[in-house]
């Protein structure tokens, strides 16, 4: 069960609800958003049902939720959310292109890759400064120096950017410069990292783990939401199967399933799933066709010398096709391609993830 407090409800109102729940043996978890507070209730629902929670000062609504994930469930909030990264929306009404280098290698490479991304219509840049790799001998990223390069390039191009944070100790450093924080597949169930990222107050891109079920993926999002941060975007990036012909298997069915269970936006990563440049465009089409709210792709000016994931990166000659493909498939699904500076719709908690 979830208690949704009115915008402007004060701490006294919240404390009264928490105290009432505690008195009947329940637990109350308070999640404070920017404009609204919600209280998740755990315990005997029959006791809660008999309480006049609707009549408590500051209470807007009381919602019974059967799913284990209370805050991100469609039961809590039947209208899909829109997450804003800078001036770029990610939500059901648009298709958002996120693009850039998989890893920040040099300033020149980052500038070239990000300009390529913008030319293709990307409204959010991506780039890795901290790179968790399977091999300890592989390129691990430039760290804070790479973050500085990406920050400078993004500001010059006047676009927001998303970058991965790997450890809780790095959250404050990354959040001080990035517009959106990414939790990678290998860290999807790093629960302390999820909590720290949530408390940073920035939008979060949560990638599905290599072997994670959809329920586990959404429960990981619940950890972030539990901190009061509802600015969460789910990313299907391919799961590990028995098939060796692709790097991972893009689970396109996960997109509509996750959208039926949660109000959060869901995007796909055709680069890390296919693992090959020649597969990326086809997987983009598949992702948009099943209703993905956005696409995140790798681009590189010279993938043959890339320090990380060169075989999957799109090149400069692909940018026009990328722009046209996203636009054509968005239009076929009665949506438009997201553009920077779109007007934000006002609304109550949950109608946009800025609540």
**Sheet bearing 59-63, strands edge to edge:** 27-32, 37-42, 2-5, 59-63
Domains and CATH numbers, the chain: 2-63 (3.30.70.1140), 83-337 (3.20.20.70)
Count other C-beta atoms under 10 Å from residue 135's C-beta.
Answer: 7
**pLDDT value of position 34:** 61
Q: Which residues of the chain have pLDDT under 50?
A: 346-355
Q: How far apart are CA 45 and CA 35, in angstroms?
A: 27
pTM as predicted: 0.86
**Whole-angstrom distance, CA of residue 102 vs CA of residue 166:** 15
Q: Report the distance separating Cα 268 and Cα 34, nearest Å.
A: 28
Give the CA dihedral 322, 328, 329, 335, nearest 10 degrees. Answer: 120
- Beta strand pairing status for 2-5 and 59-63? antiparallel
Instruction: List the beta strands (DSSP E) in 111-254.
Output: 124-126, 161-164, 180-183, 204-207, 232-236
Round the CA-based radius of gyration of the chain to a whole number and report it. Answer: 20
Q: Report how far residue 290's alpha carbon sits from residue 275's, in angstroms, rounded to the nearest whole number.
A: 20
pLDDT of residue 344: 61
Cβ atoms of residues 269 and 239 within 8 Å:
no
Q: What is residue 350's predicted lDDT score, i.e. its pLDDT?
A: 37
**pLDDT number for residue 243:** 93
Q: CA nearest 350: which of 256, 259, 234, 231?
A: 231
Using the Cα atoms of residue 170, residue 108, residue 180 and residue 205 in order, give the sign of their dihedral.
negative
33-37: long-range contacts at Cβ-Cβ below 8 A with a sequence spacing of 24 or more?
33/228, 33/229, 33/230, 33/349, 33/355, 34/354, 34/355, 35/7, 35/349, 35/354, 35/355, 36/4, 36/5, 36/6, 36/7, 36/348, 36/349, 36/355, 37/5, 37/9, 37/228
């Amino acid at each position: 069960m979830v208690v949704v407090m009115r915008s402007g409800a004060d701490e006294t109102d919240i404390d009264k609800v928490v105290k009432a729940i505690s008195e009947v043996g329940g637990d109350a978890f308070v999640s404070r958003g920017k404009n609204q507070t919600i209280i998740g209730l755990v315990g005997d629902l029959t006791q809660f049902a008999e309480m006049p929670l609707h009549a408590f000062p500051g209470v807007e609504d009381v919602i019974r939720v059967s799913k284990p994930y209370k805050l991100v469930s469609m039961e809590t909030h039947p209208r899909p959310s829109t997450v804003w990264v800078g001036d770029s929306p990610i939500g059901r009404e648009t298709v958002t292109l996120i693009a850039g280098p998989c890893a920040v290698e040099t300033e020149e490479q980052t500038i070239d890759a990000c300009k390529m991304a913008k030319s293709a219509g990307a409204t959010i840049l991506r780039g890795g400064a901290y790179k968790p790799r399977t091999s300890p001998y592989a390129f691990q990223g430039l760290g804070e120096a790479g973050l500085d390069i990406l920050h400078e390039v993004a500001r010059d191009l006047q676009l927001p950017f998303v970058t991965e944070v790997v450890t809780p100790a790095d959250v404050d450093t990354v959040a001080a410069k990035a517009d959106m924080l990414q939790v990678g597949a290998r860290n999807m169930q790093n629960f302390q990292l999820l909590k720290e990222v949530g408390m940073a107050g920035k939008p979060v891109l949560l990638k599905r783990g290599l072997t994670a079920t959809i329920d586990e993926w959404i429960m990981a999002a619940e950890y972030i939401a539990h901190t009061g941060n509802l600015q969460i975007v789910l990313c299907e990036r391919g799961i590990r199967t028995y098939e060796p012909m692709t790097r991972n298997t893009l689970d396109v069915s996960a997109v509509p399933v996750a959208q039926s269970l949660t109000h959060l936006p869901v995007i796909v990563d055709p680069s890390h799933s296919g693992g090959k440049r020649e597969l990326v465009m086809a997987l983009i089409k598949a992702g948009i066709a099943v209703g993905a709210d956005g696409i995140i792709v790798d681009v590189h000016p010279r993938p043959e010398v890339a320090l990380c994931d060169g075989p999957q990166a799109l090149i400069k000659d692909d940018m026009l096709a990328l722009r046209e493909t996203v636009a054509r498939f968005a239009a076929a699904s009665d949506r438009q391609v997201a553009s920077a500076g779109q007007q934000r719709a006002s609304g109550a908690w949950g109608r946009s993830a800025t609540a």
